[in-house]
Amino acid sequence: MQEQNKRPNKRKFRIGVVVSDKMDKTVVVRVTREYSHPLYKKRVKTFSKFMAHDEKNECKVGDIVKIMETRPLSRHKRWIVVEILQKGKRLEDITDEKLGEIEKEYFEKENKETENK
């Protein structure tokens, strides 16, 4: 069989920390982004919060998760939790550098898997 309908997945992925799990089947994920200021060339850190769907209520505060863009599920939810990369520690213990290291390790592992295929 030919794979004629096979389209590349153009959905966005983000890695972040769960900051709230008080809602049923919903978590709030904080995603940190770092970029260079266009004029002053200083590194600037910003963050965004995304509401993500967690079907099994597995995520707890402090978990590092991978979320994927999807169709609108409710008024604010447009993301779903794909997997939990690291189980929860205290939220205060997770720094942006530690999150960056975990994200880098994950993407290196993912790249090796795609190269082997």
Asked if residue 8 is part of any domain, the answer here is no
Asked if residue 7 is part of any domain, the answer here is no
Q: What are phi and psi of 49, to 5 degrees?
A: -110, 130
Per-residue pLDDT tens digits for 7-33: 677 889 999 999 999 999 999 999 999
Asked if residue 68 is part of any domain, the answer here is yes
Identify the pLDDT of residue 101: 79
Identify the pLDDT of residue 3: 54
Asked if residue 85 is part of any domain, the answer here is yes
Asked if residue 34 is part of any domain, the answer here is yes
The structure tokens listed for 117 are 């295929």
The structure tokens listed for 37 are 């200021």
Per-residue pLDDT tens digits for 44-101: 999 999 999 999 999 999 999 999 999 999 999 999 999 999 887 776 667 777 777 7
For the domain that residue 110 is a member of, what is the CATH number? 2.40.50.140
Q: What are phi and psi of 35, to 5 degrees?
A: -150, 165
Domain count, the chain: 1
CA distance 26 to 52: 6
Q: Which domain holds residue 63?
A: 13-116
Asked if residue 97 is part of any domain, the answer here is yes
